[in-house]
Amino acid sequence: MTDNITISWMALVALGAFHGVNPGMGWLFAVALGMQERRRSAVWTALLPLGAGHALAVGAAVILAVAAGAIMPLEVLRWPVAVILITFAIARLIRHRHPRWASMRVGMGRLTLWSFLMASAHGAGLMVLPLFLGLTMAVTHHSHHAMPATQSVPMALLATALHAAGYLLVTGLVAVLVFEKLGLAMLRKTWFNLDFLWGIALAGSGLLTMLL
């Protein structure tokens, strides 16, 4: 059981890394900002608000799950979460609009808000819920009693922090690699349909939630 809990923590970091690969989640914005200002420091400067916005979107979903878990059993909560994930996946596969109000020259506050909106629009927080619910259920079964709020809230914050760390690490690495070595022309040569892949990932998360 302890091994399963450890794997769940590692999976949260890995999912953050997967989110970081998606150019629509922030690194493309960081690269464009660096190229516009013609300096690498602009890429690094964009990473903090991008990570903060992503963490806020994920944290909001996780905290809502904690609040809902205080009202209903986790075995019941997983079903509406699964339905929401699969519905979101179908919507992503059919239509994929993104918030477009942000320009390249934005302050840290607006960039954080932009990252929050993008993560929310892509369902990043929803995708974390199956792993978090599975982790919560594993801890509950391991201790043989329901998890108190004093333990679930810190665990939610830790899950959000680990996920955000994985996201930020990969986002930073990809942004610097593209800015320094590859250039945006690389996207025209090697691009594939990430919206389709993202929709499949959301659907898979929904199915995983059903099987918890």
pLDDT, tens digit, 9 for 90 and up, residues 86-121? 877 777 677 655 545 445 555 678 888 888 888 887
Task: Supply the pTM of this predicted model.
Answer: 0.76
Burial class (CB in 10 A: 0-12, 13-18, 19+), 117: middle
- At 76, the pLDDT band (50, 70, 90 cuts) reads confident
User: Average model confidence (pLDDT) for the chain?
Assistant: 76
Residue 180, C-beta contacts closer than 8 angstroms, at least 6 positions apart: 40
How is residue 42 written in tokens? 């602009």
The pLDDT score that the predictor gives to residue 166 is: 93
- The H-assigned helical ranges of 95-191 are 108-121, 124-143, 149-177, 185-190
Neighbours of 193 (CB within 10 A): 9
Is the separation of the CB atoms in 46 and 29 below 8 Å? yes
Q: What burial class does residue 38 get, using C-beta atoms within 10 Å of its C-beta: 0-12 exposed, 13-18 middle, 19+ buried? A: exposed
Cα–Cα distance, 161 to 55 (Å, whole number) = 7
40-69 helix and 108-121 helix, angle to the nearest 10 degrees: 50
Query: Domain segments of the chain: what residues?
Result: 2-210
C-alpha distances out from residue 127 to 1, 37, 46, 138, 198, Å: 23, 34, 24, 18, 10
Confidence of residue 183 (pLDDT cuts 50, 70, 90): low
**Residue 143: count of CB within 10 angstroms of its CB:** 11
Q: Is the dihedral of CA 194, 195, 197, 198 positive or negative?
A: positive
Residue 187, pLDDT above cutoff 90: no
Structure tokens at 167: 């996201």
Percent of the chain clearing pLDDT 90 (strictly above): 9
